[in-house]
Amino acid sequence: MAVLQTWSVGTNGTASAFASNRSMFDAWNGTAGATVIKIWRIWAFNGQSSAISGVFAQIHFLRTVAGPSGGTALTANAVKHDSTNAALDANVTFGTDRTITYPAAPVLLRRMAIYTDEYAISGASTDEFRLFTPGALIFDGGYASAGVVQPIVLRQNQGLTLTNVTAPATGSIDIYCEFTQE
Amino acid sequence: MGIINKAYTAALTNAAPHYGMSTNAWQLPGLSTSVGLITLHNPTGSGLVMRVYSVRWVNLAIIAASVSLSFFELWRVTSPLGGQVIPCIPWTWDGDRSIQRVSAMTNAASTPVEQFARACVSLDEFAFQGDDLDAWESSPNLNVLWDSGIDDANVQPIVIREGYGFEVTHHIDGSANPSQFAPTFISMWVDFTLGVS
């Protein structure tokens, strides 16, 4: 496979606050044509710096089937890895806290639990471990597989959400996603 | 990518010290924000394409420091000015001089263009036999800030064309910033290649 045109997009420090059944991050491919978006890696850093009472948050990786609405758009944060890349298709969007449409039969790709307590300067727990880039890596589909294993592929009118399904919810996360367009 | 690009490491480890405090570490200055920890610049007319593959750092605060949590941010920048030159060490000593057409520096003032990522770091000292965040940060493998494209031929590294630069910026978050931020020590490496396409 050739090198694909790659972008990074993230919350850039405007941490996404946990709330019950909130989409913490989503990607949507609403293109009219054959543009394909591939999600290669996702990081969820601990974004909670002030003291709180942390809880466990369950994050579900779910397919979406309609354009999201509301919330906070993150598309403007999408950065080309190479400035000569083509423009990102205008119908590809990213966001947080957007209203999501799931398929009638939810497609759960994976799920995980995050402890949402704040990090401390000399702490030694999972709160701090999620400050490290390797510790925050929550998805790396296809990496180092030499093209054998697929990443999460978003074709026309397909999306992906990382939704917190847990209540009560406290804390926040700072999410980054590496994706390609072809 | 068509050609085998030459690889370099721009390392703060052996850099001239920022404040003359050390010969083997770079001292992060005191209370300040948006400091360019390491900046690579590919000037207009170089004829080169710079590709950044890996950014790692380690905590070198082996004496007591009084600091807080802050952030290392990865940016595409333009027009870096000033600062101190740091060496770019070729991995293969074959007499190639293309490195002379680009530059690397620390404590430069740059114009930010777009942000790739950021990570929260503790710059507190770490203790002998410590088992906390500060101590874990002494591991280069755990402390990788960026390694895009290293393991997958499908994904681009950060590509820096002529007229642009790449910078790891130290940013102090207001909510996490105490009234004091004392100098402390880090070391950082950026692995990159230079090619003509």
Q: What percent of chain B has pLDDT over 90?
A: 19
Q: What would the pLDDT profile of B28-49 be if each residue is shown by its tens digit? A: 654 456 778 889 999 999 998 8
Q: Worst-scoring range by mean pLDDT, A1-10, A40-49, B157-166?
A: A1-10
pLDDT, residue B32, reads: 57
Q: Among B122, B136, B152, select the one facing A121 at the smallest CB separation.
A: B122
Q: Does pLDDT of A17 surpass 60?
A: yes
Q: Give contacts of A45 with chain B, Cβ < 8 Å.
A: 119-120
Which whole number is the average pLDDT over B105-124?
A: 89
pLDDT, residue B154, reads: 84
Question: Band of the pLDDT at B20, cuts 50, 70, 90?
Answer: very low
For residue A46, give both structure tokens: 């601990």
Q: What would the pLDDT profile of B55-107 be if each residue is shown by its tens digit? A: 888 888 777 777 777 888 999 999 999 888 887 777 666 666 777 888 888 88
pLDDT, residue B185, reads: 79
pLDDT, residue B87, reads: 77
**What number of other Cβ atoms are within 10 A of residue A168's Cβ?**
10
Nearest CA in chain A to B52: A81
pLDDT, residue A78, reads: 97
Domain ranges within chain A, ordered by starting residue: 5-181
Q: Are A39 and A160 in contact (CB under 8 A)?
A: yes
Which whole number is the average pLDDT over A103-128?
A: 89
Q: Among A5, A45, A142, select the one facing B156 at the smallest CB separation.
A: A5
Q: Does B143 contact A132 at a Cβ distance shorter than 8 Å?
A: yes
Question: B26-28 and B109-122: which strand pairing?
Answer: unpaired
Q: Most A CBs within 10 Å: which of B133, B160, B188, as the mutation test of the A interface?
A: B133
Q: Give contacts of B154 with chain A, Cβ < 8 Å.
A: 1-4, 38, 40, 142, 147, 180
Q: Among A8, A84, A144, select the one facing B151 at the smallest CB separation.
A: A144
Q: Among B116, B152, B176, select the one facing A143 at the smallest CB separation.
A: B152
DSSP state of A75: G
Instruction: Measure A146 CA to nearest chain B CA, in Å.
Output: 6
Chain A interface includes B121 (CB < 8 A): yes
Q: Worst-scoring range by mean pLDDT, A170-174, B19-23, B54-58?
A: B19-23
Chain A interface includes B99 (CB < 8 A): no
Which whole number is the average pLDDT over A46-73?
A: 93
pLDDT, residue A156, reads: 95
pLDDT, residue B21, reads: 21
SS3 of chain B: the string is: CCCCCEEEEEECCCCCCCCCCCCCCEEECCCCCCEEEEEEEECCCCCCEEEEEEEEEEECCCCCCCCCEEEEEEEEEEEEECCEECCEEECCCCCCCHHHHCEEEECCEEEEEEEEEEEEEECCCCCCCCCCHHHHCCCCCCCEEECCCCCCCCECCEEECCCEEEEEEEECCHHHCCCCCCCEEEEEEEEEEEECC
pLDDT, residue B133, reads: 86
Q: What percent of chain B has pLDDT over 70?
A: 73
Question: Band of the pLDDT at B170, cuts 50, 70, 90?
Answer: confident
Q: Does pLDDT of A181 surpass 80?
A: yes
Which whole number is the average pLDDT over B132-161?
A: 85
Q: What would the pLDDT profile of B129-145 be if each residue is shown by its tens digit? A: 788 888 888 887 888 89
pLDDT, residue A84, reads: 96
Instruction: Measure A8 CA to nearest chain B CA, in Å.
Output: 6
pLDDT, residue A138, reads: 92
Q: Give contacts of B118 with chain A, Cβ < 8 Å.
A: 10, 12-13, 174
CA distance to A59, B73, B116, B117, per residue, from B76 (Å) = 31, 10, 8, 11
Q: What would the pLDDT profile of A146-159 be if each residue is shown by its tens digit? A: 667 788 999 999 99
Q: Does B156 contact A174 at a Cβ distance shorter than 8 Å?
A: no
pLDDT, residue B8, reads: 64
pLDDT, residue B13, reads: 42
Q: Among B67, B151, B158, select the one facing A81 at the smallest CB separation.
A: B158
pLDDT, residue B27, reads: 58
Q: Does B68 contact A145 at a Cβ distance shorter than 8 Å?
A: no
